[in-house]
Amino acid sequence: MNPARRTRLEREYALLGAILIAPTVLIFCAVIVYPLVSAIYLSLFQVFTPTLEGSWVGLSNYRELLGKEEFWTSLLNNIIWTVGTLSLQIIFGVAMALILHQNMWFRSLARSLILFPYFVSTVVAVLVWKWLFNDLYGIMNHLLIVSGLTDFPIDYLGTMPNAMISVILVGAWKYFPFVVIAVLARLQTIPDALYEAARIDGAGPISRFFDVTVPQLREVLVVIIMLRAIWDFKEFDMIYLLTGGGPITSTQTLPLLVYKEAFKLNQMGMASTYAVAMMAIMLVFMILYIRRTRSEEDT
Amino acid sequence: MADVILRDIVKSFGSVTALRGLNLQIEEGEFVSLLGPSGCGKTTTLRILAGLEFPTSGTISIGDRVVNDVAPAQRDIAMVFQSYALYPHMTVAENIAYPLKKRRIPRGERTVMVQKAAELLQLTELLRRKPRQLSGGQQQRVALGRALVRDPKVFLLDEPLSNLDAKLRSYMRVELVELHRRLGRTMIYVTHDQLEAMTMSDRIAVMDGGDLQQFAPPNTVYREPANRFVAGFIGTPAMNLVDGELVLSGGDWTFRTGNLSVPVPPLGENAAAGPAALGFRPEHVRFGEGPIEGTVQVVEQSGHENIVVAKFANDLRITGRAPAAQVWKPGEPVRIRIDTAEAHAFAAGPNGERLNRPRAAA
Ligand SMILES: Nc1ncnc2c1ncn2[C@@H]1O[C@H](COP(=O)(O)OP(=O)(O)OP(=O)(O)O)[C@@H](O)[C@H]1O
Ligand SMILES: [Mg+2]
């Protein structure tokens, strides 16, 4: 519309809109844009963390990053962790949601219990798992030895690939309830009549699952996978507390690398460079997510 | 030959009994409506026929075959749901083809059959659309298409028109009747809209409280309602029903209530003196002159006529139809005459049976 032609009322509405949006924009700038810009800014310096004093190095941090093996192994670890734990979350989450969607007498109890891992604080969860995994008094090793499956206690967190597998499993345990809840919510909105129509049309249970349930879950699964991929990719506390990135660096993901660089090696500039690189990688997911939601709105 | 037989069907949901011993015999090729107030068990009956619900007791036969233990897909029925239940992610063509696909009909044949169904229902232009890109009436036709593409023995339709606007509904009524004529298949049609039932059906099964009240052609249901429930349920405005008593004097029956006394048409063997009800339709009330005097209460104008509700002694309220030319005002005194030759007598109680002598087969 031609702005000059706007009526007074329209101009007033536009002004009101700007006033109402302003607080959000300010907060957005303060908590998102500022840290982002300052991370990029810091990545161009060599900074000593305790004093935050540094010198301009231009892009040399980035040059160093590209040649650094630890970055690439951390990235690989990060991908293994994300893909591994996310797949398990989706598989268990969807399976559990389908089970809990059935009419069972303990359904409502089970639905609340399932949320437990998701609600429990990461520190507590990790302590409990460390205790379960312990090679001296852990229940897992005890059961394995008693049942005769193994003669020696297994070192779950101190060797590879056990450590990565354990981290992936604990991550799956902790976050699959999110998938359960999101999928269950969607399942409950699928009209029964669709299943009944399919039964009359001659579809067996398997056909009904693939022809009615799966297509209805597709959208919600895309959203879940994107969100969880982003969240799992930047997971820090659980891995840090469980293995600290060890043994050596075999479960060290990028967030752990950033932390180590910033607070153990005191290289805030280099740490910011890693963080910016991480963000660039996650940007791919975010763009996919935004595209997806936009194309949904269009159709 | 009877095509669909329900014998002594009882259906309980826990403590709720939805059907109490329903018996129904539907002829091949018949268009039958299940009509009744909300909660009377129409949908339950249809779902039992479809095999989506199992009767607590009783037998269901479809085309010479007891189908109690037959899966819905093998019953040779098709159902059109009130919500249409189209598969949202499939196109119109895929929706219609789905039952064929599940019956392993080869793709080539499938396409031809879908095309034919689409032509019959004027859906050819829409075959590539998804259900959400269709209007209510178009979705409705797709649901019909999915039902008829399989050429089932019996069509089950649960209030298929209730989500459409009035104009489209009357259009689809005609379409459905036409479709029924063309296909010649048995159709069982659930509705709570008596206009639909009256205009479309060969026979209407009037239900109430999980029981069949009357199963007869529309005309019979209207002119010779089997009991007081049917009399009050069929017809708008509803039949006037007045409680009182029947008196026999010198071979002629008279109906009395308060100080009103009216002659009654000949009654059958089942009539007895005592408490009873008199029913007469609004069109059998004449306004202007007559023996009964009261006051006009409400006048509803509908253009071609006026519906007049008048109040008489002993709180008696009578509804009648008056020609549009007659102007009545609330509060005005009025005299009426009841055309008692067309009146019905019913035994006492909400489901009291009709007592009139059956019409001689003229
Ligand atoms: N799954 C169920 N569980 C418990 N009660 C049910 C169930 N389905 C139906 N009923 C009960 O059975 C009775 C008949 O229900 P039904 O759906 O057949 O009614 P209807 O005649 O189709 O009514 P409407 O015109 O409102 O659709 C009602 O009292 C209803 O509450
Ligand atoms: Mg119903």
Q: Indicate the pLDDT class of residue A54, thresholds 50, 70 and 90.
A: confident
Does one domain contain both B69 and B215?
Answer: yes
Does one domain contain both A19 and A122?
Answer: no
Does one domain contain both B277 and B218?
Answer: no
Residue nearest to atom 8 of ligand 1 (CA): B44
Q: Which two tokens stand for residue B249?
A: 């004097």
Of A196, A211, A216, the CB nearest to B52: A196
Of B196, B228, B260, which residue constitutes the final position of a domain?
B228
* C-alpha B42 – ligand 1 centre gap (Å): 8
Does one domain contain both A156 and A8?
Answer: no
* Cα A191 to Cα A115, A168, A188, distances in angstroms: 25, 36, 8
% of chain A exceeding 70 in pLDDT? 97
pLDDT tens digits for range B305-341: 899 999 988 888 999 998 888 888 899 999 998 988 8
**Cβ of B85 and A196 within 8 Å?**
yes
Q: Indicate the pLDDT class of residue A141, thresholds 50, 70 and 90.
A: confident
Does one domain contain both A32 and A145?
Answer: no
B54 or A154: whose pLDDT is higher? B54
* CATH at residue A287: 1.10.3720.10
Does one domain contain both B331 and B199?
Answer: no
Phi, psi of B129 (to 5 degrees): -80, 160
Does one domain contain both B171 and B247?
Answer: no
CA distance A178 to chain B (A): 25
**Cβ of B52 and A200 within 8 Å?**
yes
Buried b (16+ CB within 10 A) or exposed e, A73-86: bbbebbebbbebbb
Q: In what order do the strands lie in the sheet with B333-338?
A: B316-323, B305-312, B285-301, B333-338
* Cα A228 to Cα A15, A94, A179, B238, B302, distances in angstroms: 38, 14, 9, 62, 62
User: What is the C-alpha separation between B118 and B115, in angstroms, rounded?
Assistant: 5
Q: Output the pLDDT for position A174.
A: 93
Of B228, B260, B290, which residue constitutes the final position of a domain?
B228
ipTM above 0.90, yes or no: no
For testing contact with chain A, the best of B102, B113, B146, B159 (most A CBs within 10 A) = B102
**Cβ of B85 and A197 within 8 Å?**
yes
Residues of A in contact with B98 (CB under 8 A): 198, 201, 203, 211
Q: Indicate the pLDDT class of residue B233, thresholds 50, 70 and 90.
A: very high
Instruction: Report residues whose beta carbon is within 6 angstroms of any ligand 1 atom.
Output: B 13, 16, 18, 36, 38-44, 192
Helical (H) or strand (E) element with A5: none
Q: Output the pLDDT for position A265.
A: 86
Q: Output the pLDDT for position A297.
A: 60
Which domain covers residue B181, as residue numbers?
A: 4-228
Q: Is A196 on the interface with B (CB under 8 A)?
A: yes
| Tally of domains in chain B | 2
Of B72, B73, B83, the CB nearest to A193: B83
* C-alpha A254 – ligand 2 centre gap (Å): 59
Cα nearest neighbour of A203 on chain B: B102
Number of H helices and number of E strands within chain A? Answer: 15, 2
* A129 part of a folded domain: yes
Does one domain contain both A182 and A255?
Answer: yes
Q: Output the pLDDT for position A299.
A: 54
pLDDT tens digits for range A205-218: 999 999 999 999 98
Longest dimension (CA), chain A: 85
B326: helix, strand or coil: coil
Does one domain contain both B222 and B261?
Answer: no
Task: Give yes or no for a contact between A184 and A100, defined as CB atoms under 8 angstroms apart.
Answer: yes
**Cβ of B79 and A200 within 8 Å?**
yes
**Cβ of B73 and A202 within 8 Å?**
yes
* C-alpha B41 – ligand 1 centre gap (Å): 6
Q: Which two tokens stand for residue B254?
A: 């008279």
Does one domain contain both A29 and A108?
Answer: no
pLDDT tens digits for range B258-274: 878 888 888 888 888 88
User: What is the C-alpha separation between B306 and B321, in angstroms, rounded?
Assistant: 6
**Cβ of B99 and A201 within 8 Å?**
yes
Closest ligand relative to B45 C-alpha:
1
Does one domain contain both A97 and A148?
Answer: yes
**Range name among A40-54, A148-162, A188-202, B228-242 with the lowest pLDDT average:** A148-162
A122: helix, strand or coil: helix
Bridge partners of B322?
Answer: B306
Buried b (16+ CB within 10 A) or exposed e, A247-268: bebbbbbbbbbbbbbbeeeebb
Cα nearest neighbour of B89 on chain A: A215
Does one domain contain both B94 and B109?
Answer: yes
* CATH at residue B281: 2.40.50.140
Does one domain contain both B38 and B167?
Answer: yes
Does one domain contain both A98 and A174?
Answer: yes
Q: Output the pLDDT for position B362.
A: 41
Residue B265, preceding peptide bond in cis (omega within 30° of 0):
no
Task: Give yes or no for a contact between B328 and B299, defined as CB atoms under 8 angstroms apart.
Answer: yes
pLDDT tens digits for range A229-241: 989 998 999 999 9
Does one domain contain both B42 and B92?
Answer: yes
Does one domain contain both B55 and B188?
Answer: yes
Q: Output the pLDDT for position A296.
A: 64
Question: The tokens 């963000």 sit on which residue?
Answer: A279
Bridge partners of B11?
Answer: B19
Which domain covers residue A88, as residue numbers?
A: 68-298
Residue nearest to atom 16 of ligand 1 (CA): B41
Does one domain contain both B288 and B142?
Answer: no
* B238 part of a folded domain: yes
